[in-house]
Amino acid sequence: MDAMKICGDLWTGLWIVWIIGLLWSKRTQERTDMRARIVYGLFTVAGFYLMFGGGLPEGWLHLRLYARAQWIDEFGVALTALGVAFAIWARVYLGSNWSGSVQLKVRHELIRGGPYRWVRHPIYTGLLVAIVGTGLVRGQVRGVLAFFVLLAGFWVKLGIEEQVMRKTFGEAYEEYARRTGALVPRVWN
């Protein structure tokens, strides 16, 4: 089993869903600042390049963290599949309210069902779970670094999203935020 190829195929499937989903997004009413988009965009590109880039210089980024084992590869593939599936479910559930950058759509709706009943940013949760799985399969320092770079980018982006949602939906969003975690489900209220 070539676990890294399977992970790559899962990520490719996710990107195909994302590209198709672009066709069904609502028109944009308001965009966030270009500087903010550049900041979280750079983190995102850097994180995925660390994980998948073939042109990384040899050295400490390629250092293996543990011996290769089939059970680790299987677990990593399963986590990647689970994370990709969760992100796709969230993307489909969000429907035409989705955008790649932080935007307010025309007739934007506050979505609180499906995966959004557990976390406010389930796409990021799914992507982070998937990157952990792929990182386990990769088994190198670069996978750990990729996770933290992506986490930093998503944290910046979700902070901006939270501001937009609070401004747009007011107390309804505040109440929703009190009941749900940002990336991890809240187990207590």
Work out the number of other CB atoms within 10 angstroms of the CB of residue 159: 13
What burial class does residue 105 get, using C-beta atoms within 10 Å of its C-beta: 0-12 exposed, 13-18 middle, 19+ buried?
middle
Cα–Cα dist 187/98, whole Å? 27
Sketch out the chain's domains with CATH numbers: 3-11+27-179 (1.20.120.1630)
pLDDT of residue 103 exceeding 80, the answer is no
> DSSP secondary-structure letter at 183?
S
Mean pLDDT over the full length of the chain: 88
pLDDT of residue 102 exceeding 70, the answer is no
C-beta of residue 73 within 8 angstroms of C-beta of residue 3: yes
Q: How confident is the model at residue 173 (pLDDT cuts 50, 70, 90)?
A: confident
What pLDDT score was predicted for residue 26?
Answer: 55
The half-sphere exposure of 99 on its side-chain side, counting CA atoms within 13 A, is 20
What are the CA-CA distances from residue 50 to residues 28, 126, 148, 187 (Å)?
Answer: 31, 18, 11, 33
Cα–Cα dist 102/105, whole Å? 10
pLDDT of residue 31 exceeding 70, the answer is no
- In the predicted model, what is the mean pLDDT of residues 94-121? 77
What pLDDT score was predicted for residue 167?
Answer: 86
For 162, the token pair is 């939270």
Name the amino acid, one letter, at 91.
R
Backbone conformation region of residue 6, classed left if phi is above 0, alpha if psi is from -120 to 50, else beta: alpha
Select, from the ranges 37-51, 127-141, 149-163, 171-185, the one with the highest average predicted confidence (pLDDT). 127-141
> Higher pLDDT residue, 3 or 29?
3
Q: Output the pTM of the full model.
A: 0.90
Q: Which residue has the tokens 């660390």?
A: 50
C-beta of residue 75 within 8 angstroms of C-beta of residue 7: no
What pLDDT score was predicted for residue 34?
Answer: 72
Q: Of 94-103, 121-130, 151-160, which gets the smallest average pLDDT?
A: 94-103
Q: How confident is the model at residue 187 (pLDDT cuts 50, 70, 90)?
A: confident
> DSSP secondary-structure letter at 31?
E
Nearest CA-CA partner of 18 in 113, 109, 126, 114: 126
**Beta bridge pairs of residue 140:** 64
